Amino acid sequence: MQMFAPVDKPPSLWAATAPEAKLHPRLEADIEADVTIIGAGFTGLRTALKLSEAGVSAIVLDAGDVGYGASGRTGGQVNPMLPFNTPERLRKLLGQTYFERLTETSLGSADELFSLINSYQIDCQARQNGWLRVCHSKRALSAARKSVEEWNIHGAGMVVVEGEELHRLAGTKAYGAGIMTPKGGAVQPMSLARGVAKAAVQRGAAIHGNSAVIDLEKDGQKWVAKTAHGSVRSDWVVVATNGYTGDLVPKLSRTILPLTPIQMATDPLPGDVIDSILPAGHTISDSRRIIMYSRKEPDNRMVYGGLGKPERSGEIGGFDWLRKDAERVFPQLKGVSWTYKWGGRVALTDDHLPHLHEPQPGILVGLGYNGRGVAMSNVMGRVMAERILGSQADALPFPTSPIKVIPFRPAKMQGLGTAIWLMRFLDYLETR
């Protein structure tokens, strides 16, 4: 089985500042439940919460603990839009029925998450102030205008912001125009993961940390998920391992390309440095192939992210480039110390869509948010719970697709470094 090493040393800002730190006990017995959930990120935790609310017993197993994967390390931007695919392309990929369902679901995904946070009173600094996606070139702006038109037909409510107004809202003159999506926002992601975990446990779910599932096998009508010190026997298994996916389900890891986004955060900064940056509390990202994403925290810290590079040592590189880019975008940040630096893994799919699989009766897999999973993983978790609670597979917002290995994946993995270098170079030429 493919294992992975912890990568956030020192810990992420989120792990360092989230309340309710709690290590969940290792699984040390052979037990039974209705559902086993592998992965305690947003996807698995949302499934656990919905099932436990319905009186279905759920055991969550994680190799690390709650929020150990991308969910506790993420940029925490709640963006109600599938990445990469325009509505036109989505319709081609999905056909009319799933196009309509997935468009509606993804555009509603931020509202769905904020409403969940509200109903469970989860203390995670949730704010829905809007998301600015700034354009790095004329070509990107004309593509953005087209996508605004297309998405707005479906109720996205996006607005093009230009010139002085953009400079004021973003706090940077590095970009001339952008799109504002009012439903976007931000959360403290580790607080969110812990809050959902707590709500699920209060309703009867059990969570075990330090409990990597090393084998999954059928025993009569049941599935048995084995860890080094115990096992869970259940009718259903939900695999919610996203960018950390190994080989528990045959070929599953070959349906995704793992990437390693990184982030860094400052300590609280004085007003004269930070007041002009994102004054209305928007989150921001840009249109480059290798994007930047950033946010200002309620306590005046800055968080800035991009794409990193896993080193052979298990450490993650790319922070020097990230600091230079942060100073290019926000010259106000020249010379500040970036106290926290961390990264995590996301899963790209070939069609850039989240995938829902049911490879065998009783096994559900939900993954592949293509780096935009804060809102959509929550939707996927809810949808997988609904399937277990009796919804027909063909009535869900996501099509249930067969497990399909990415063609030429080894070559794509091998060429990833060069492709990223090339994309960065093209971005540089277009941004000069």
Ligand X SMILES: Cc1cc2nc3c(=O)[nH]c(=O)nc-3n(C[C@H](O)[C@H](O)[C@H](O)COP(=O)(O)OP(=O)(O)OC[C@H]3O[C@@H](n4cnc5c(N)ncnc54)[C@H](O)[C@@H]3O)c2cc1C
| Contact call for residue 40 and ligand X (CB under 6 A) | yes
Give me the least distance between CB of 271 and ligand X, in Å please: 25
| Contact call for residue 306 and ligand X (CB under 6 A) | no
Give me the least distance between CB of 60 and ligand X, in Å please: 9
Nearer to ligand X, 67 or 171 (CB): 67
Give me the least distance between CB of 138 and ligand X, in Å please: 26
In the list 37, 38, 307, 316, the residue contacting ligand X (rule: CB under 6 A) is 38
Give me the least distance between CB of 70 and ligand X, in Å please: 4
Q: Helix (H, G, I), strand (E, B), or coil: what is residue 46? A: helix
Helices (H) and strands (E) in the chain, counts: 11, 22
Q: How many degrees, rounded to 5, is the angle at CA 33 between CA 28 and CA 34?
A: 155
What is the CB neighbour count within 10 angstroms for residue 16?
15
Nearer to ligand X, 372 or 387 (CB): 372
In the list 126, 132, 148, 213, the residue contacting ligand X (rule: CB under 6 A) is 213
Give me the least distance between CB of 176 and ligand X, in Å please: 23
Q: Sign of torsion, CA 318 255 375 108? A: positive
The single-letter code of the amino acid at 336 is V
Please state the φ and ψ torsions of residue 408, each to the nearest 5 degrees. Answer: 55, 35
| Contact call for residue 212 and ligand X (CB under 6 A) | yes
In the list 13, 14, 64, 161, the residue contacting ligand X (rule: CB under 6 A) is 64
d(CA 178, CA 134): 4
Q: Are 42 and 60 contacting, i.e. CB atoms less than 8 angstroms apart?
A: no
The single-letter code of the amino acid at 380 is M
The number of residues that bind ligand X (CB under 6 A) is 46
Nearer to ligand X, 275 or 358 (CB): 358
Nearer to ligand X, 137 or 349 (CB): 349
Which region, judged by CB under 6 A, interacts with ligand X, from 27-35, 68-76, 134-142, 145-153?
68-76
Kindly identify the residues of this chain, within the stretch 246-265, that bind ligand X according to CB under 6 A. 246, 248, 261-263
Q: What is the DSSP string of 54-82?
A: TT--EEEE-SS-TT-SGGGTS--EE--S-
| Contact call for residue 244 and ligand X (CB under 6 A) | yes
Q: What is the DSSP string of 231-259?
A: EEEEEEEEE--GGG--SSSTTGGGG-EEE
Binding site for ligand X (CB under 6 A): 38-44, 61-64, 68-71, 73-77, 79, 212-213, 240-244, 246, 248, 261-263, 293, 305, 343-346, 367, 369, 371-374, 377
